[in-house]
C-alpha cells in the first residue's frame, strides 16, 4: 500500500514537472502597452518555480515577482501565481503562449523571447 502511494505521488510530481517545462522561458506580450484594460506585457517562468511578470493597465504598468505552479484544470492548464492568489488558463501553440483570465475572459498572447 505504501509503495503504491509513493509511486502515485512521484508520478504526480513527474507529470506536473513535465507540464511546467513546456511553459518555462521568457515571453513578451503582443498588445500595445496603451491598450485598454489589463494584459500581460511580459512574463518569465523559471524552471525553479519563480516568476517575474509585468502587466499593463490601460497606460500604467505594474510588476510582479513570486512563485508559481502549473496544474491541470477544468479548462486546461492553470498557471497559479501563488503570491498574488491569481490563476490563469494557459496554453501554447507555435511559439506563443495564450493566457486567459477566467474571471474576466480577457486573453493575452505572448511570444517566446528566450528559453530558460
Q: What is the mean pLDDT of residues 10-38?
A: 66
Mean pLDDT of the chain: 79
Handedness of CA 52, 44, 13, 84 (dihedral sign): positive
Tens digits of residue pLDDT in 86-104:
899 999 988 899 999 888 8
Count the helix, strand and coil residues of the chain and give each as a percent rounded to the nearest 5: 15, 55, 30
Q: What is the pLDDT of residue 40?
A: 87
Chain centroid to Cα 27, Å, comes to 10
Q: What cell was used for 70?
A: 502549473
Which structural domains are found in the chain, ordered by start?
A: 2-114 (2.40.128)
Tens digits of residue pLDDT in 13-26:
333 445 567 899 99
DSSP at 31: S
pLDDT at 108 over 60: yes
Pairing between β-strand 96-100 and β-strand 86-93 as defined by DSSP bridges: antiparallel
3-state secondary structure of 61: strand
Task: Kindly report whether the global pTM for this prediction surpasses the value 0.85.
Answer: no
Amino acid at each position: 500500500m505504501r509503495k503504491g502511494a509513493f509511486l502515485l505521488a512521484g508520478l504526480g510530481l513527474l507529470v506536473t514537472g513535465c507540464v511546467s517545462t513546456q511553459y518555462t522561458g521568457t515571453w513578451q506580450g503582443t498588445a500595445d502597452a496603451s491598450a485598454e484594460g489589463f494584459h500581460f506585457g511580459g512574463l518569465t517562468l523559471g524552471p525553479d518555480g519563480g516568476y517575474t511578470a509585468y502587466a499593463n493597465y490601460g497606460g500604467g504598468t505594474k510588476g510582479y515577482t513570486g512563485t508559481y505552479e502549473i496544474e491541470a484544470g477544468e479548462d486546461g492548464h492553470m498557471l497559479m501565481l501563488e503570491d498574488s492568489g491569481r490563476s490563469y488558463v494557459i496554453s501554447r501553440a507555435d511559439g506563443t503562449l495564450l493566457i486567459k483570465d477566467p474571471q474576466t475572459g480577457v486573453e493575452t498572447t505572448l511570444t517566446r523571447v528566450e528559453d530558460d
